[in-house]
Structure 1
Amino acid sequence: MDLAKDAQCETWQNTLNPILKSSEHPKRGIKASTWVRLADAYANYTTACGKDSTSALKAWDAIHKAKELDTDGKSADDIEALMHGQLMYSAVVNQGVAHYNAGNIEKATEYFHIGYAVDPSDTLTSLYAGIASNQLGDTEMAKKAFIHYVDIANGDDESAFYSLSNMAKEEGNVEEAISWLKKGIDRTDNKELRGELVNLYIQNDMLDKAVADLEALVEKDPTNTNVMLNLGLLYDNQGNTDKALAIYEDILKIDPDNYDTNFSIAVVHFNAAVKIKQKVDAMDMDTYQKEGAAIEAEACSKFQDAKPYFEKALAAKPDAQEAKENLENLNNVLSQCK
């Protein structure tokens, strides 16, 4: 038993009871000041005691009732101070977190949405409201919370931008999905969001638009290796390996140990070697005897070009299985060349 806690609860319960009676009184119940006092008492009761799992919601409803009754504006300052103050925020968030921890996601979500109405600049409640609404499958409320988080609270958690983009994509609005990713990239410079943007362009046959966007970004910031890498990958995807290699080499001037770039260069050389080797494999015996050796030597030279880049990639990430396997495969090919 927590005697101090019980005493606090009793104190605030004794404060609440007469105000509750006043709110039910024919005359006092139509005064805004009565409802301001009731909202204040409920909010304090929540933070000091917390035995009533709906007391923060009662505080929020009471302050709105006060605003509704304050037709002459005499209580406007008191209403505003309580409605958007720290006491109301603490009451709502504490109760929201308690519901969430108890597994009552639906109730917690209601409180989190109120939380960012109390403090519009708060990123915590708007982000949690979006995440929890998503968990409940309530796309409309999730979108509302995430948009508030991004546009009003200026939040920078990449999951909000990803979620907004994904919701737009599910609604069939590709342009909106792209715009949310771009906004997230501008604010967070997040590699995963960049990758998702590239994937979205590719999935919707918008490579030319993607290249134009990324070229503009590279021109704006020629040291941003993430943007440069994505542009290189798009060039590669379009079959423009010369441009891809040029931008990859520019990245290595800035970041010589960049794993993804070294790996990508290695793959470009390896694939080029495979194409050359396919010419040899397609030859009949007479053609092979005339031209085969020279073309095989060209292929082997190209395979050799890939090796130092696979090695650099593996040095940058010694546990990268993809680099290990590719280097082993390449070494087997080169042993045949010898």
Structure 2
Amino acid sequence: MKKLVLGLALVSASFLANGQSIEDLTKNAQCESLENTLKPLLKSSEHPKRGIKASTWVKLSEAYANYTTACGADSASAIKAWDAIHKAKELDTDGKMADKIDEVMHGQLMYSAIVNQGVAHYNSGNLEKATEYFHIGYAVDPSDTLTSLYAGISSNELGDTEMAKKAFIHYIEKANGDDASAFYTLSNMAKAEGNIDEAIGWLQKGIDKSDNKDLRGELVNIYIQNDMLDKAIADLEELSANDPSNTNVKLNLGLLYDNQGNTAKAEEIYHDILKIDPTHYDANFSLAVLHFNEAVKVKKEVDAMDMKTYQEKGAEIEAKACAKFQDSKPFFEKCLESQPDSAEVKENLNNLNNVLAQCK
């Protein structure tokens, strides 16, 4: 897990004889004072009359949050602060404390208490506890991207798809987050559920936010996997226009046109790749195969002719087939230069040379 860092640590060069720094002594005194503040408030919360007042629970929540941020000795104190402010809200039936409750519930003190303890659990490897705190973190501050993103990531690591989905959707729609992993994960979840339209929708939202190349690549993959080749081609055309030197994008675009039977367009794109990288193996191989297959088609015309037709125009068409076979040879040879040990290329070149020998 990637370590999270939050908050500030103060280090002093001034140490007392017993090995404690001035800051340590100050902190110990502060924590003792906060503990003394908590004790009467806890008693008040258990009192028959004071315990049913919203104000009692507001004070207890603030005391727990202060204690958490200053000391952190009680690993559950932030949750206790969160539970206490919810108890205050429950008891505030007339709404007189509503503004104060909202201020505490969504304030910086509560956020610091919850998130710092979440980060501590995360860094110590306690993913379950950390996840619980991160989900509370974005309830404290709905605009916070850190807690909603990490709540999604950690929930997903734990295999809790529903909570991961909830956190990622909040991250995108409420916190306006743009990390590609959130869109990618939501798309994969939708795809796993068989909802291809939703999977495409999340990728498109991510692309609109950040124009991430990985998201664009995944979108093209989904289009291809689901026989939506026209959309895949449109996306790759746009990608290629934005990044004209990207030979991988061009190759995928050429292969799609090839698969659709648009060999003229495919050939144009393969040649564009060779202008960027003349030794590009896949582009050379694709051009070699393209010319070879076209030659085979022409040759089939000759093979299907009766004797009379062959005598009239067979030799002319056969010459065209041989020319096409010859066109494929330089590209196979370029492939062999790039990959001298390629058994595939050697076999194809051997077959081609046999065909060309017959042409002669």
Structure 1 range deviating more: 167-176 or 202-211: 202-211
Question: 1:15 offset after TM fit, Å?
Answer: 1.4
Q: What CA distance in whole angstroms lies between the structure 2 residues aligned with 1:109 and 1:304?
A: 59
Evaluate the alpha carbon distance shift between residue 111 and residue 166 of structure 1 in structure 2; reply closer, same or farther with a 3 A threshold: same
Segments of structure 1 that go 5 or more residues without pairing to the other structure are: 315-322
Contact persistence 2:291–2:325 (CA under 8 A): yes
Q: In structure 2, what is the equivalent of residue 273 of structure 1?
A: 291
Alignment of 1:1-338 (within 5 A): 2-211=24-233, 214=235, 218=238, 223=242, 225=244, 229=250, 232-246=254-268, 257=276, 265-276=283-294, 295-304=321-330
Q: Per-residue CA shift, 1:227-258, capped at 9, x if unaligned?
A: 97465553334232333455677899xxx758
* In structure 2, C-alpha distance between the alignment counterparts of 1:17 and 1:243, rounded to whole Å: 79
Quote how far apart the aligned CAs of 1:207 are: 2.2
- Post-superposition Cα deviations, 1:269-318, rounded to whole Å, max 9, x if no partner, equal 1321342576799999xx9xx7878645533434536889x8xxx9xxxx
The offset of 1:98, in angstroms, is: 0.9
Change (3 A) 1:85 1:102: same
Once the 2 structures are TM-superposed, how far is the Cα of residue 91 of structure 1 from its aligned partner?
A: 1.0
**Change in CA separation of 1:209 and 1:223 when aligned onto 2, cut-off 3 Å:** closer
CA change 1:45–1:269 in 2 (3 A) is same
Q: What's the CA shift for 1:113?
A: 0.4
User: For the residues of structure 2 that align with 1:303 and 1:208, how far apart are their CA atoms?
Assistant: 32
Q: Could you tell me whether the CA contact under 8 Å between 2:183 and 2:203 is conserved in 1?
A: yes
Q: 1:266 to 1:121 in 2, by over 3 A?
A: farther
Change in 2 beyond 3 A, CA 1:280/1:237? closer
Normalized per residue, the structure richer in helix is 1
Distance in 2 between the 1:14 and 1:71 partners? 30
Deviations 1:44-95 (A, max 9, x none): 1111100111111111111111122222322222222221121111111111
Percent identity of the aligned residues?
63
Distance in 1 separating the partners of 2:50 and 2:326? 94
Q: Output the CA distance in 2 between the equivalents of 1:179 and 1:154.
A: 16
- CA 1:275–1:87: 2 relative to 1, 3 Å: same
CA–CA separation in structure 2 for the residues paired with 1:281 and 1:57: 79
Alignment coverage as a number of residue pairs = 316
Per-residue deviation, residues 87-120 of structure 1 (Å, max 9, x unmatched): 1111111111111122211111010101111111
Residues 299 and 321, structure 2, Cα contact 8 Å, conserved in 1: no
Distance 1:13 1:249, change over 3 A: farther
Quote how far apart the aligned CAs of 1:183 are: 1.2
Q: How large is the Cα RMSD of the aligned pairs?
A: 3.9
Judge conservation of contact 1:228–1:248 (CA < 8 Å) in 2: no
How has the CA–CA distance of structure 1 residues 48 and 306 changed in structure 2, closer, same or farther, with 3 Å as cutoff?
A: farther
Find the residue that maps to 1:52 and give its secondary structure. Answer: coil
Instruction: Decide whether aligned partners of structure 1 residues 257 and 61 sit closer, same or farther in structure 2, where only a CA change above 3 A counts.
Output: farther
2:137 alignment partner, SS class: helix
1:235 counterpart letter in structure 2: Y
Q: CA separation of 1:233/1:277 partners in 2, compared to 1, >3 Å: closer, same or farther? A: closer
Q: Measure the CA separation in 2 of the matches of 1:249 and 1:148.
A: 46
Q: What's the TM-score, normalizing by structure 2?
A: 0.73
* Alpha-carbon distance in structure 1 between the residues aligned to 2:296 and 2:154: 54
Q: Which piece of structure 1 moves more, 239-248 or 55-64?
A: 239-248
Report how far residue 154 of structure 1 moved.
Answer: 1.5
Aligned to 2:146, the other structure's residue is in SS state: helix
Structure with the greater alpha carbon radius of gyration: 2
Q: Which residue of 1 aligns with 2:5?
A: none
Equivalent position SS for 1:21: helix
Shifted more, 234-243 versus 32-41: the winner is 234-243
Alpha-carbon separation, structure 2, partners of 1:104 and 1:175: 36
Q: 1:293 to 1:138 in 2, by over 3 A?
A: same
Question: Equivalents in 2 of 1:142, 1:297: separation in Å?
Answer: 60
